[in-house]
Amino acid sequence: MASFQNRVIGALTLQASTYEEVENDASATSQAAIIVVAAALLGSLGSLIYGFGMAVILGPIFALIGWVIGSFVVMFVGTKLLPGKNTSADLGQMLRVVGFAQSPGLFNFLTIIPILGILISIVLWIWGLVSMVIGVKAALDYDDTMKAVIVCIIAWAIIFVCTLMAAVVGGGAAMMTGAMLNR
């Protein structure tokens, strides 16, 4: 069994064997959670510069919630909508794989560099996406990488639509509450 540090390096270097290992090691769930929280904290550092200190507190909380929901959606899409011939995955396996796929987020602190921050954000986003596809392919035991890409796209679309609907409903509720309080 590899150390936590070796697993992070394996995820960062896009080694499918690392994703296979964490998928099958139930004790790696807490390690995956550490990566999710650390990436969120490092990503919220830039918020401090602009006076949004609450992002340091709320960022990791929302990241953990998003991690669980996102992992469930990926698992559902991969096991129910697009299963492969050998597909077998549970939520714990998906949590571990999706958590380690967020390892490129450990470099989020670099996005505060003026001008280069935007380019770094794009590179980290692409790196994370590739990491996610490799992890999903491993977790769902797919033979075909394109199937993992499709699962990630469909899961992203579902999460995006649900987030948009929640924002619309939440925004509408906030507007109605504000209107009622200002009578």
Domain interval for residue 53: 4-181
Both structure tokens of 41: 């904290």
pTM for the complete prediction?
0.88
Of residues 23 and 183, more confidence is placed in 23
Please count the structural domains in the chain.
Answer: 1
Q: How confident is the model at residue 168 (pLDDT cuts 50, 70, 90)?
A: confident
Q: Alpha carbon of 53 to those of 43, 47, 60, 137: distances in Å?
A: 12, 6, 12, 37
Predicted pLDDT of residue 170: 66
Summarize pLDDT for 110-145 with one digit per residue, the tens. 988 888 989 999 999 999 999 999 999 999 999 999
Helices (H) and strands (E) counted in the chain, each on its own, are 7, 0
Distance CA 73, CA 156 (A): 9
